[in-house]
Structure 1
Amino acid sequence: MQTECPSPSLKRSVLTTSRTLIGRTLKNARYRKRFAVQPDYLPYYETYLLMLWQGREDSFQVEFPPVGQENFEVKVDRIGQIRFEAWLRRKQRAALLQLSSKLKFRRTPLAGVNVITSLADGSIRDFLEILGSIFEHYARRQKLDPRSSTSLDKFATARTPIAFDIQTDGIYEASEAYVSGVSSRSEREADVLLRFIQGLGTLTSILQSNPNDPRVLGRSERGIFAVTFEGKEEHSSEAANDAVVKSLIRLAEISGYVRAIDVGGGNLDLAGSGPQVITFRLHKRFSPYYHFSFRGAYETVQFHARDFWPLCDRATPVDPTTWANALASRNLSLSFSQLSLPLSTATSDD
């Protein structure tokens, strides 16, 4: 589907970037491999980032500069510096998420073994369920019986790649089924657990794609939640609320819906009366449904346990979307740098 470019300034700058890159393909074998001289391969994400970049490492604005004030040629001339290109690549997914949010897209293409493996998040069960969903869409497209082993053999031994849209449809359906699985749980806490997942999913999406937040590009792929428990007096109402929040996080972890993250001591098995920190993120399989990066999250955001209590409160439950929007609008602090994909990468793409 063809989509109109969101800004004439962006379109003009894309063409400028494209000419620069194409010119370099004629001189450098590395560029010849990466940038095809075809209109279908215009460097949109590089241009989008450079248009909003203010010249300092992680400083971005949310609106394109006025025509004639882009200083674009100076920025694009840095393409070719290995460290600068590594920095651009780290922002690629964030640029796609934010640009799709600007364009009101709730779906971005997802396909390939690397994407599926990432979404499975280390679980062979999730990996097979995602593949099973893709297979069902493949069988439907090919008019095959999905219950037949012959159809499965044809799917597994196909000599040509499975169509991109078939993979995307299967991946999104598998993510939706994962969310539906939360609501179909039979235990008493199922409704609270679903509200908790919905709130975290919406919050992660806002942190990673909000077109009005310059931190989306400056600190891309936020969504590792570091939750501090202050160690209240044992019989206080605050301590009781904190205990409920902690038990819900633990239930979500046991159920496989969140992943504990070790960033220097945070975990889900803490004891003692002093301040404690639990650090976790959502399972990556939620990402297509909630519209955040299929790679999950790399950047930590700080919260207090009381921030999560409204999602756990049975007496006056909060709407998870309202909760997420209110929390995202706060000036969230960041205490950890990205956990991987270092800026100082000095290797080439060859």
Structure 2
Amino acid sequence: MDYLLEIDDLHTYFKTKKGTVKAVNGVSYRVEAGKTLGIVGESGSGKSVSAMSILKLLDGNGYIDSGEIKFKGRNLVECSQNDMYQIRGNEISVIFQEPMTSLNPVYTIEKQLNEVYLTHQKISKEEASKKSLEMLNAVKIPNAKSIMKQYPHQLSGGMRQRVMIAMALACEPSLLIADEPTTALDVTIQAQILHLMNELKREKGTSILFITHDLGVINEMADSVAVMYCGQVVEMCDAHTIFARDNEYSHPYTEGLMTSIPRLDTPVGTRLDAIPGSVPHPLDLPKGCKFAPRCKYATAKCMEEEPKLEEVEGNHSVRCFYPEKEGRHATK
């Protein structure tokens, strides 16, 4: 298997006055070349922190305690800041969640796009402007020439997100990290942005690490899925398996996420199932299985012992003592 990115037993912590926050606590996942891995989970599950660890874009109190992040066979954990400057933008790019806070309000779109080329490639300003215009056309921005002269506040949310995608793909990176890139957009624009990203992936062969809390988006974008909870991967499989109704195995948390999605065939008046409780505070994590206090199938064993992420069938791993749906239903 040709893996572009391999994360193995990653631990990323943050030092605070109240103690050490274990935001990412033993995460492992892989991204194949030319494929999309979707990372899904509630806020606070460690999705973004695990992705920002790849580029070492952590806050001042954040650090990688242990683990490996292999990109093209190279362990990024051991790389210096100068090495990372060469990798960021060139080989790995990021689309951040809110484009308005990612774009500089006092510079034109042209100046900000040109900066990407001038920083990473030895070309003139004229050549940079030409390439910037080509990228805006590639992300299907209408009247790209006039948009180049405008400022971020003059563009709609969808247009700003297209500019961010253009900036991220300017140097044709091997890996694109998309951190909830459609969260602030309406459904119609969201569909356009997802379609655009899939088109660019096919054309350029870029691998995508797509972070979201929306399983509907995962269904549209991902080839494989990693479900995260409390800084751990609780389930990993291909996208088809996670959405299959006849799937024999799943983590109770994944099951809860799936049953909370509105469906067109849901009878009128039927209430959606909701996962009880909330994500525990990272400084006060429960003993045993981290999901046990919210799990309707939890047993005494779940409360005392922590399960490992184990393969239940080909390319399908679950962190649960009762991964079989029928088996755990029988315990209750």
More strand by share: 2
Query: Same fold, TM exceeding 0.5?
Result: no
Q: TM-score by structure 2 length? A: 0.25
Bigger proportion of residues as helix: 1
Structure number, greater radius of gyration: 1
